[in-house]
Structure 1
Amino acid sequence: MELSLDELVGRLGGELVGDPAVRIRQIASIEAAAEGELAFLSNPKLGAALATSRASAFILTPKAAGLTDRPRILTADPYLYFARAAQLFNPPKRPVAGLQAGAVVASELHPSVCVGANAVIGQDCRIGENCVIGAGCVIGDGVVIGADSLLHAGVKIYDGCVIGARAILHSGAVIGADGLGFARDAERRWVKIPQIGRVLVGDDVEIGANTTIDRGALDDTVIGNGVKLDNLIHVAHNCQVGDDTIMAAMAGLAGSTKVGKRVMVGGKAGFSGHLEVADDIVVSAATNVTKSIDKAGVYTSLVPIQTHADWVRNFSHLRRLDAMAERVRELEKKLAELEKKS
């Protein structure tokens, strides 16, 4: 696709400054952009990069409009505008509808559905119009997938799970595997508890590669509308994730954790089980959340990086922290007694 700046602004909005006839064929970074490409700048402090960039036009804030005399589109949020322009210039590829070689399908499908090579679809499934089921996917019995959803190669969805419309599931995602449900008998052996709940995934959800969402033990595991999960995330049984929450790679939710709406979770953050996290909370990367959070804000528990020698020295103090606290309490008590006598 190639558009003039005038055509682009006509589709996406913004204020155009400069030649409206300039042709754009792709989005690129400021550093790597070439002629015919559009770059964006969110931080005016990095404006010096505009002078050396080869981009034909830029996406800038109104305050940064004077940093270049080349064509520019002015908008309050250049990064958001860039995202929408990137979608426009890079529409998803859609394979031809129908069954490819080796596909095994035991459910009736709409003619618009594409099923990739060696994919398997079980009985009593309802697959919406225009869905793409990638090569090697395995869809269990009774699964529901909403219209216009895309499953990349190798996705596994267990029996009875529900995926909403316009979902994107990346390779290796596993939806509906058993959660860690076991009871211990008198001989300290583990007795499996059948996991009879489902996974319910809302509309417009994206689930990253090798991310796993366990089915509920009794009730369902629920992923709300608009949720974005990065690669290598684990959501345990009976968790609930609110609408428009986003989680970065390697984050993990232990069983029965409830995360609110519009929550932002950094990479490798971990949540203990049976917690409740309110709406509009930000959890920093590598943070361990061990208790419920009921107030919006930014929460962090990681230790800043330091040299090994400093870490050893500081940790040695930390090991004596309880004893030091007891000594402080004793000193405070003696001080209070001295103040009474005086």
Structure 2
Amino acid sequence: MTHAAYTITLADIARHLGVAFSGDADLPIRGLATLKDAKPDQVAFLANRAYLKDLAETQAGAVLLHPEHGKSCPVPRLETDNPYLGYAKLSQLFDPVSALDTPGVHPSAVVAEDVTLGAGVSIQANAVVASGAVLEDYVVVGPGSVVGADTHLGEATRLHANVTVCHGIVVGKRVILHSGCVIGGDGFGFAHDGAGWHKIAQLGGVILGDDVEVGSCSSIDRGALGDTVIGRDVKIDSQVQIAHNVQIGDHCALAGCVGVAGSTKVGKHCMLGGGVGISGHLTLCDGVQVTGMSLVTNSIHEPGVYSSGTGAMNNLQWRKNAVRFKQLDEIAKRLSRLEKQQSRK
């Protein structure tokens, strides 16, 4: 990616990352790109050995890589023990999003008179900020986004276009909410009287910790009584559903289409792969990893990697196995009887 309006030198980059470098300290760098596509004014990176084949022919101005690959690099290099982390930090220098922000309130925005606005706040076209809301310094409310009554947005938090943060929500510092996500919608709570459903008012809220990121079209429901709580540095992908009164511990990562049912508690440093489903009222301890498309129906009390389900296979083979699966209980009983008979001999 290139952001032509922003140029720094190779030495500037090395200082920003705190890494050693070789080459012309004054080399101008205007962007980032892959090893294969990079031009002489761009930095590339090598974090996966699968791309070593592209290193020899790269046209990059410099390459961010591990010292073990330094001698194989035909261009100036930046050496670090964690090239992917270095790339992540470097990418922020060339992100054009913040350059588009203009502090102030757009004429088409609707902002209640009693809203509290910090320094450098940007409220963009057609946004709505309701009564009693507090926006700390450098908050950005993107076009068409809605901030509900009495909601608190922490310093340097960003709402991209068309985000909805409902009433009475607490959002920490440096939180990023992507387009279409809804924070604090009603949880799925109904009581049945035998003939129909009666809605249970959702009286709690949502608390998002510092440095949380929520992907596009994800939903985090407000609590029925207490709050739904998302810890610090939690990263949530797109199209994720988190139900009412769920608690997610610090530093967790949830991939796309994860669904967490109500009142479940997920510990710290957990990772949930794409499409994982977790039933309600469960507890997952710290350090749990659940692989993609797995269904968790019982609490997990030991850290480690957990999986369920089967991988894709030929349909004919799958149909045969499905029939055999239905026979497992009877097969187990027959095996138990045979073992008992054998033990008597």
**Pairwise TM-score range, normalised by the shorter structure:** over 0.9
Task: List 4+ stretches of structure 1 deviating above 4 A.
Answer: none
Alignment of 1:10-159 (within 5 A): 10-44=15-49, 46-90=51-95, 92-106=98-112, 107-108=114-115, 109-110=117-118, 112-159=120-167
Residue 168 (1) aligns with residue 173 (2): no
String of CA shifts for 1:72-128, please: whole Å, max 9, x gaps.
111110000011111112252342222213211113333522212221111111111
Residue 181 (1) aligns with residue 186 (2): no
Q: Which moved more, 1:135-144 or 1:40-49?
A: 40-49
Secondary structure at the counterpart of residue 52 of structure 1: coil
One of 175, 181, 192 as aligned partner of 2:199: 192
One of 232, 242, 265 as aligned partner of 2:272: 265
Secondary structure at the counterpart of residue 47 of structure 1: helix
Q: Unpaired segments of 5 or more residues in structure 2?
A: 1-5
Distance 1:314 1:307 in 2: 11
Distance 1:153 1:119 in 2: 9
Contact 1:47–1:67 (8 Å) recurs in 2:
no
Aligned-residue RMSD, C-alpha: 1.5
Letter in 2 for 1:218: L
Distance 1:291 1:126 in 2: 40
Identify the residue that residue 312 of structure 2 maps to in structure 1: 305
Task: Compute the TM-score of the two structures, normalised by the length of structure 1.
Answer: 0.94
Contact 2:60–2:75 (8 Å) recurs in 1:
no
Query: How much has 1:173 moved relative to structure 2?
Result: 0.9
One of 277, 280, 285 as aligned partner of 1:278: 285
Q: Unpaired segments of 5 or more residues in structure 1?
A: none
Identify the residue that residue 336 of structure 2 maps to in structure 1: 329
Identify the residue that residue 249 of structure 1 maps to in structure 2: 256
Distance 2:119 2:64 in 1: 41
Identify the residue that residue 3 of structure 2 maps to in structure 1: none
Distance 1:68 1:148 in 2: 38
Query: How much has 1:45 moved relative to structure 2?
Result: 5.1
Letter in 1 for 2:13: L
Identical residues among aligned pairs (%): 41
String of CA shifts for 1:113-156, please: whole Å, max 9, x gaps.
22122211111111111111111112221111111111111111
* Paired residues, number: 337
String of CA shifts for 1:226-250, please: whole Å, max 9, x gaps.
1111110000000001111111111
Distance 2:240 2:48 in 1: 31
Contact 2:63–2:76 (8 Å) recurs in 1:
yes
Distance 1:43 1:145 in 2: 38
Distance 2:53 2:152 in 1: 51
Query: How much has 1:20 moved relative to structure 2?
Result: 3.2
